[in-house]
Chain A
Amino acid sequence: MAAVQVSEAEKVYILHGIRDDLRVDGRGCEDYRHMEIETDVVSNTDGSAKVTLGHTAVLVGIKAEIGKPRPMVPDEGYLEFFVDCSANATPEFEGRGGEELGTELSNTLYKVFNNKHSVDLKSLCISTGEHCWVLYVDVLLLQCDGNLYDAISVAIKAALFNTKVHISADDEGGKEIELSDDPYDCMRLNVENVPCIVTLCKVGHRHVVDATLQEKAVLCGEPDHLRHT
């Protein structure tokens, strides 16, 4: 993540504050920053959401396309994740700089959604073995001020809630599919069990939730990510 230079005096100040459950912006150790969620922000997508968590901003767009189901699970659709750390967030992400972070985030998302209960994949099937819906979840990092995992997971949940998948009229199970003529004839996904990620940073005996970049620069250790449904 982008580096922030913190002086020794600032480090001591932040650490002592955390020990007394008081962070630089007045929050307690277990408080989140102000979060704003907007859905349906991009009209070209089938579902989208924008989440602003303090100074971190994340935009997620979901497009549903028809594809062939995976050979091992012919009666399920699937999700594909891609995280793009754009150069808008910090100049370090220019060119291929953000690729490593993007790959790490995508891999974590694949792992987090790799279970039967998060998204009902069977509802994404059109005809077994032939066609299924593939949801391409594209995450764009607009601004980066720490706690990317949490913001991304909330944005994905909101975008999946907003996603409208067209219902196919024909269900003969053959190679041809027909989508219904009515553009408003869609199904929505059940996002009750879509996981939300909570990131904790360990400082001494305390755990800090939603660390900003400045606090991360102080803490040398890697944060722990917990998945909570």
Chain B
Amino acid sequence: MPTDTKRVRGPELSQNPGLFACKPAGVVHATHGPRADGRQRDQVDVRPVFVRCGLVSQAKGSAYIEAGNTKLMCCVYGPRETERKDETDMKCGRLTTDMRFAPFSCPERGSWIQGSQDKDFSLMLHESLQPALCLHKYPRSQIEVNVMVLENSGSVLAHAVTCASLALADAGIEMYDLVLGCSIRQDGASYVVDPSYVEENSCSSVSGENQGGLTVAFLPSLNQISGLQSDGEMAEETLTAGVRTCIEGCYKLYPVIQQALAKAVRRAAPPPSES
């Protein structure tokens, strides 16, 4: 692990007090009970989403998304001249993505140094966004997308994809389509869409056949999947059913995102008055 000499950190042996807390007897997550926040199992019940574009004035485009307690913001800079001259591509632009978690975002304190999980998410974000951008229209330039997770309450990658494509649209980067993300968590025979942090990380004591999570990045108008990441163990039919469920979840999100974008455009350039 690389050491950070610039910041004064707490003692290395500090531990989360949650580890020492006594777990109450009946805390095992019921796989057939209702979800903690009142949503339904086995149904495409995504959390209501609040999105707003244009919150960072310095960035070319920016967006903020809130889904339940998950809060993330994304800024887009570009198209700019490529920083590293030897990587300038004459024919099309480059997309760089960076996804970071604030140390206070997860229940356990994370570190400021990018761990391998952050790099992993950045790579998946890059994979999901690249097919949607018309990079051939920006030769010799680079577009930077920076996502910062302020609070991680589950389903972070899916919302990051949505937020990033909103910010890209807000920045005026030409795209083939918006990319929307949705994730599910499969727990035995039932699944939950848009899981919260607790639902994502609870390992059910019954080691059932189907235990895993799935995140899908989807282009709604073109009906294409640009990114798919799955974790855990699932049977083939469960996986294909899960992909279809995620696609449905993306379709549910689409009108909200479109409305938010339209509002942002209207705010930025108000229509000429009647008189």
Cα distance, A110 to B119, chains bound together (Å): 14
User: Which residues on the A side are within 8 Å of B207 (C-beta)?
Assistant: 116
User: Which residues on the A side are within 8 Å of B15 (C-beta)?
Assistant: 71
Closest residue on chain A to residue B117 by CB atoms: A107
The number of chain A residues touching the other chain, given as a range, is 10 to 19
Q: Are B233 and A116 interface neighbours, CB within 8 A? A: yes
User: Which residues on the B side are within 8 Å of A115 (C-beta)?
Assistant: 211-212, 232-233
Q: Among A103, A106, A114, which residue has its beta carbon within 8 angstroms of that of B232? A: A114
User: Which residues on the B side are within 8 Å of A71 (C-beta)?
Assistant: 15, 19
Asked whether B14 is an interface residue with its Cβ less than 8 Å from the other chain, the reply is no
Closest residue on chain A to residue B15 by CB atoms: A71
Cα distance, A42 to B53, chains bound together (Å): 57
User: Which residues on the B side are within 8 Å of A34 (C-beta)?
Assistant: none
Supposing A115-B212, A115-B233, A116-B233 touch, asked if A107 and B19 sit within 8 A by C-beta, the answer is no
Supposing A115-B212, A116-B211, A117-B233 touch, asked if A107 and B116 sit within 8 A by C-beta, the answer is yes
Asked whether B81 is an interface residue with its Cβ less than 8 Å from the other chain, the reply is no
Docked complex: B43-73 residues within 8 A CB-CB of A: none
Q: Are A222 and B127 interface neighbours, CB within 8 A? A: yes
Q: Are B233 and A107 interface neighbours, CB within 8 A? A: no
User: Which residues on the A side are within 8 Å of B212 (C-beta)?
Assistant: 115
Between-chain CB contacts (< 8 Å), 22 pairs: A71-B19, A103-B116, A103-B120, A104-B119, A104-B120, A104-B123, A107-B116, A107-B117, A107-B120, A107-B123, A110-B116, A111-B231, A114-B231, A114-B232, A115-B211, A115-B212, A115-B232, A116-B207, A116-B211, A116-B233, A117-B233, A222-B127
